[in-house]
């Protein structure tokens, strides 16, 4: 299977899927907190944006975007499947998925934006992450080092669970809707925000 065939297969799997209640709850939190909320994700499926989130930092890119290998232009293309040799509409060169492949480095600008959010947040929720894929795995630890309250929401413990301020076991799709409607959580996030960001990392 070629790279193109593999990513077309993934597009076809993801195309019929929609956001879950956890994604919707995060979008509601962003609407409540406005500029105080940043969502940092390792996922490439675009479901957070489909749920309504707008301030999203995608560490590993987005499956529904393509990037020219010559001029580096990035744009959205939800065609499924893509043609075998998709061409850039600007320069005609080959397009590739705008995702981070194994062995590639993360985009420094994207990574810097994530760390800026993390280092300036008062509250960080680490949701559904296994705690094994770096550098995302240690971002919650970084936020705590800068003084943030860090809440972990996951089905099972991770290597960093004991370090975080709060650990909640369960499904994010059940827990997040309950959190999003609690005015106490909103008020704490707003009052304790050191600058402008409540940062949330979602991996499920």
pLDDT, mean of residues 34-41: 88
Structure confidence at residue 112 (pLDDT): 96
Q: Please indicate, yes or no, if residue 86 is contained in any of the structural domains.
A: no
Q: Please indicate, yes or no, if residue 113 is contained in any of the structural domains.
A: yes
Structure confidence at residue 94 (pLDDT): 95
Domain coverage including residue 124: 18-60+106-202
CB 91 within 8 A of CB 70: yes
Q: Please indicate, yes or no, if residue 88 is contained in any of the structural domains.
A: no
Say what the pTM is. 0.86
Which residues participate in catalysis according to the annotation?
Answer: 60
Residue 15 has a CB neighbour count (10 Å cut-off) of 11
What CATH number is associated with residue 184? Answer: 3.40.50.1220
Q: How many domains does one find in the chain?
A: 1
Q: Please indicate, yes or no, if residue 154 is contained in any of the structural domains.
A: yes
High-pLDDT (> 70) share of the chain, %: 87
Q: Please indicate, yes or no, if residue 89 is contained in any of the structural domains.
A: no
Q: Please indicate, yes or no, if residue 187 is contained in any of the structural domains.
A: yes
Residue 150: strand pairing partners: 124
């Amino acid at each position: 299977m070629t790279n193109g065939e593999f990513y077309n297969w993934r597009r076809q799997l993801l195309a019929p899927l929609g956001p879950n209640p956890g994604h919707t709850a995060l979008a509601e939190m962003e609407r409540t907190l406005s500029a105080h909320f940043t969502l940092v994700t390792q996922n490439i499926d675009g479901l957070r944006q489909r749920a309504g989130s707008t301030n999203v930092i995608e560490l590993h890119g987005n499956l529904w975007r393509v990037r020219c290998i010559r001029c580096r232009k990035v744009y959205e293309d939800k065609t499924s499947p893509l043609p075998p040799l998709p061409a850039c509409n600007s320069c005609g060169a080959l397009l590739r998925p705008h995702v981070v492949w194994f062995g590639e480095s993360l985009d420094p600008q994207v990574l810097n934006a994530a760390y800026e959010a993390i280092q300036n947040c008062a509250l960080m929720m680490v949701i559904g992450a296994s705690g094994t894929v770096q550098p995302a795995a240690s971002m919650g630890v970084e936020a705590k080092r800068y003084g943030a309250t860090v809440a972990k929401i996951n089905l099972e413990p991770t290597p960093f669970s004991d370090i975080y301020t709060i650990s909640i076991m369960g499904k994010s799709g059940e827990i997040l809707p309950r959190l999003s409607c609690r005015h106490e959580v909103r008020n704490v996030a707003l009052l304790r925000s050191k600058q402008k960001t409540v940062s949330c990392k979602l991996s499920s």
